[in-house]
Amino acid sequence: MELKTGIRNSRELTVTEDMTAASAGSGGQPVFSTPHMVALMETTAWASVEPCMEEGKSTVGTHLDIAHLSASPVGAHVKSESELIEIDGRRLVFKVSASDDAGLIGEGTHERFIIDIEKFMARTEGKLK
């Protein structure tokens, strides 16, 4: 698969108790948490380009600009969608969104950088020395 703008992906889930703001510590209400929505968006984007990566390469998230627009209750069906809209060297920019059966619940952009896994992990683990 060739890395090019226009690559799309989607992921779906059903909101469970352990995905709520109350459970995640991001609020007190039993609704789909912002951290879980963002993680779903990030996973959707990451998974869309992972098949395009050469051996030993992957991507890491570096920036999020996300609005959480509407709450979703436990039991709601949530769908996340991503589209790769820009490639600037190793920087990838995605348009991301999430919706439940009642409509849009979140949207924004997400940036990822292409990394060499071995070098990235060596630098990261070097922080412990």
- Check pLDDT > 90 for residue 98: yes
pTM for the predicted model, two decimal places: 0.95
Tell whether the model's pLDDT for residue 129 goes beyond 90.
no
Q: Model confidence over 79-94: pLDDT tens digits?
A: 999 999 999 999 999 9
Give the pLDDT confidence score for residue 7 in this predicted structure.
Answer: 98
Residue 30 CB coordination number (10 Å): 16
Q: Report the half-sphere exposure of 32 (CA within 13 A, side-chain side).
A: 25
CA distance 108 to 81: 11
* pLDDT confidence bin for 99, thresholds 50/70/90: very high
* CATH superfamily, region 8-128: Hotdog Thioesterase (3.10.129.10)
Catalytic residues: 34, 42, 68
89 Cβ contact partners less than 8 Å away, ≥ 6 residues apart: none
What integer pLDDT is reported at residue 1 of this predicted model?
A: 84
User: What are the residue ranges spanned by the domains of the chain?
Assistant: 8-128
